[in-house]
Amino acid sequence: MKKVFYFLIFAVAAFTSCTKDIDVNVPDYTQKLVVEGGIEPGSNPYVYLSWTLPYFGNNDYSDFQQYMVKGAVVTVSDGFTTDTLKEVIPGQGLYYLGLNMQGVTGRTYDLNILINGKTYTSSTTINLPVPLDSLWFKPEKDSLGFVWTHFKEPAGLGHRYRWYAKRIGKDDSFYAPFSSVFDDKFIDGKEFDFAYDRGMKPNSEEEDDKNVEKGYFKVGDTVVVKYCTIGDKEFRYLRSYYLNQMSNGNPFAAPSTLESNISGDAIGLWCGYGVFTKGVRLKMP
């Protein structure tokens, strides 16, 4: 009994002696511009603009208008034409769209944003698309499953890719699943099969995004895959974005920095997409 008693005293002393108050100096918050924009072959350039929110403090999430960027001067130039993007809803901000330019494969597009006398810039190129060989459906849970593809990766390091998909008649746009980007570091020149789960609209309230169908395609769906080539800076931003999402809320995760390709005191992405599309009607093999 004495040995047990002494052990308990030692354990209590050990735990109490290990407690220590730690003061963490949190850097002062500096508001930054958030940019999300892109251009594809045959499509107009688009740019979403907003302001960051402080992590600590009293944020009014009921009024997002205060975080939208209004009255910005946004231009895109390809060396031939300079297009001044228009606010889609004048006076409301957030979404700016070009009306006098469409993307062309191989061209470089310079973005310029002027807000309150401050300029933010970026540049991106629409690279040549790389085709997918074939698409097919592989079930995982009865009529639910994934769209698979056979891919012949071109020889020569330096290719970066992003995957999107759209269900005809169900989705109003192409959606990228989580961690939808990869490069050819380990697959250069190889031939292989791969698949992604189904992406969805952010904050979707659709029933099939909340029940057992979440992340799956379904027999009877007609799916169009949009397979994109992107640049290195664009890839590194998206990779860092997904790494941040994976570590969100985990106190033991290693910190990671968003590798934005926007100059100035801004974060975000301006991306040219080389696009290859292919469709498939999903049926049981």
Q: Give the pLDDT of residue 97.
A: 98
Domain tally, the chain: 2
Give the end of a domain, one of 91, 125, 159. Answer: 125
The reply to whether 263 falls in a domain is: no
Q: What is the pTM of this model?
A: 0.86
The reply to whether 207 falls in a domain is: yes
Structural domain boundaries, residue 52: 33-125
Q: Give the pLDDT of residue 62.
A: 59
Q: Give the pLDDT of residue 258.
A: 85
The reply to whether 1 falls in a domain is: no
**Mapped to the 3 state alphabet, what secondary structure does the chain carry?**
CHHHHHHHHHHHHHHHHCCCCCCCCCCCCCCCEEEEEEECECCCCEEEEEECCCCCCCCCCCCHHHHECCCCEEEEECCCCEEEEEECCCCCCCEEECCCCCECCCCEEEEEEEECCEEEEEEEECCCCCCCCEEEEEEEECCEEEEEEEEECCCCCCCEEEEEEEECCCCCCCECCCCCEEECCCCCCCEEEEEECCCCCCCCCCHHHCCCCCCCEECCCEEEEEEEEECHHHHHHHHHHHHHHHHCCCCCCCCCCCCCCCCCCEEEEEEECEEEEEEEECCCC
**List of the chain residues with pLDDT < 50:** 1-15
pLDDT in tens, 63-88: 667 788 999 999 999 999 999 999 99
Q: Give the pLDDT of residue 53.
A: 78
The reply to whether 6 falls in a domain is: no
